[in-house]
Amino acid sequence: MAEFDVDLFVIGGGSGGVRAARIAANYGARVMVAEEYRMGGTCVIRGCVPKKLFVIGSHVHDEIEDAAGFGWRIGQVSFDWATLVANKDKEIARLEAAYTTNVEKSGAKIVKTRAVLEDAHTLRLATGEKVTAKYILIATGGAPNHGPAVPGIEHVISSNEAFHLKELPKRIVIQGGGYIALEFAGIFNGYGSDVTVIYRGDNILRGFDEDVRKHVRAEMEKKGITIITGCTVAKVDKHGRDFTAHLSSGSSIGSDQVMFAIGRHPNVGHLGLEAAGVAINPANGGIQVDAWSKTSVDNIYAVGDVTHRTNLTPVAIREGHAFADTVFGRRQVAVDHATIPTAVFSQPEVGTVGLTEQEARAQFSHVDIYKTDFRPIKATMSGRDTRVLMKLVVDGVSDRVLGCHIVGDCAAEITQAVAIAVKMKATKADFDATVALHPTASEELVTMRTPTARHVRQAAE
């Protein structure tokens, strides 16, 4: 008789947990996955996928406007929010079924219930059943964080609820300045809502390159989005179906919805972590892990947003795969968290990989900047007032490209390809030796020959 009921018990059926379960099962492990809500996790059910679908739909308004410059005469058009939401729900249900099928095909078993740790090897299911496991993987992801409670916080929605609103708000106030806040600002603006963004910092997209931050803000404001920085929402009042957001600056804004998108916290509560001896990282509130995703308990691992390392779906997938290779494939695989490309599906779109100018100047003595800001070819005919930003950050000594930052249409698609070159430590000379693909916006990346700035850090005397 086996010492344990299963070789691996995975808590959480999101991207990281599912990848780990499938790979471990392929190695011959007996695997059980517990998911109390819906298979697919944040990304598939209430994150990246539905968000991208909403973004794509919100672009149509601009496409219709731009068509006139190319000779198209489009008559009266209308938009139906309920149809968008229903079709999105249908696609998410399809993906959820695909996730479930793929896990079951691998040989792993899914239990649709909550699982809590009783000790390092025992889990108690909400059904009352107990399961013992040789290894346990925690992949419970994260959840929206509303921050310090303010009066009227019960009236505020998060991105979770934004996907299921019964009707499109005519006016919405969004607090936050990161990925989620800006993406939803663009979404609602594209569908015709009056959008106001409130952010406590001096400018949006904290942590991104300064030129990117300035460019995105200017372009969003051109589209009619109001961005107010240096303050927060201090109170929310409800009047019938309307809301008033009172700001820390003393002003107030009326709206049909108030949304907070000020960050996410790891889902570490009520999992029985203390009972099993799993430590929390005091620096970020996530589960503390080593380079192989092992927690403070030898047989318990954690991957994805619950560790609060790099909260991106492809990273969680990579971590889950590496865990399964390490523990069940008998070959140690550590995930390299450096030089990870990322995108913000704001409008305009952002794609970035590698170091910002500020980070490079702090780490390298000589830094060369190549930057261009231009009107895309489409705008010359559509008449739209928009500009593209492309920027390369280069080590002035080795000529290695340290970072690439793009703002404009298809920025994410371009960045995915550029990320390969940056990861391979390509030099600016390598970029220069690449023949341009014309006419494209991305050809600028291989035709910028003269630095727009050169920075030399003086040695301390």
What are the boundaries of each domain within the chain?
A: 6-144+265-327, 153-262, 348-453
Judge: domain 348-453, CATH 3.30.390.30: yes
Residue 40 host element (H or E): none
Q: Which residues, in sequence order, are CB contacts of 90 under 8 Å at separation 6+?
A: none
Encode pLDDT of 313-330 as tens digits: 999 999 999 999 999 999
* pTM to 2 decimal places: 0.94
Could you list the beta-strand ranges (E) of 313-438: 342-344, 350-354, 366-374, 388-395, 401-407
Q: Copy the structure tokens of residue 24.
A: 């471990």
User: Could you tell me if 257 and 157 are in contact, meaning their C-beta atoms sit under 8 angstroms apart?
Assistant: yes
How do 257-260 and 31-34 pair as beta strands? Answer: unpaired
Encode pLDDT of 341-379 as tens digits: 999 999 999 999 999 999 999 999 999 999 999 999 999
Give the pLDDT score at 459: 60
194 bridge partner residues: 171
Q: Which CATH superfamily is domain 153-262 in?
A: FAD/NAD(P)-binding domain (3.50.50.60)
Question: C-alpha distances in angstroms, 30 versus 24, 122, 141, 272?
Answer: 8, 15, 23, 23
Give the residue from 443, 451, 453 showing the smallest Cα distance to 406.
443
Active site residues: 438
Domain 6-144+265-327 and domain 153-262, same fold? Reply is: yes
Query: Where do we find the tokens 């100047």?
Result: 361
Q: Which residues, in sequence order, are CB contacts of 10 under 8 Å at separation 6+?
A: 17, 20, 21, 31, 32, 33, 34, 108, 136, 137, 139
At 123, give phi and psi (nearest 5°): -120, 140
Q: Class for domain 6-144+265-327, per CATH?
A: alpha beta
User: What is the average per-residue pLDDT within 212-229?
Assistant: 98
| Amino acid type, 128 | G
Region for residue 416 given its phi and psi (left: phi exceeds 0; alpha: psi -120 to 50; beta: otherwise)? alpha
Encode pLDDT of 274-333 as tens digits: 999 999 999 999 999 999 999 999 999 999 999 999 999 999 999 999 999 999 999 999
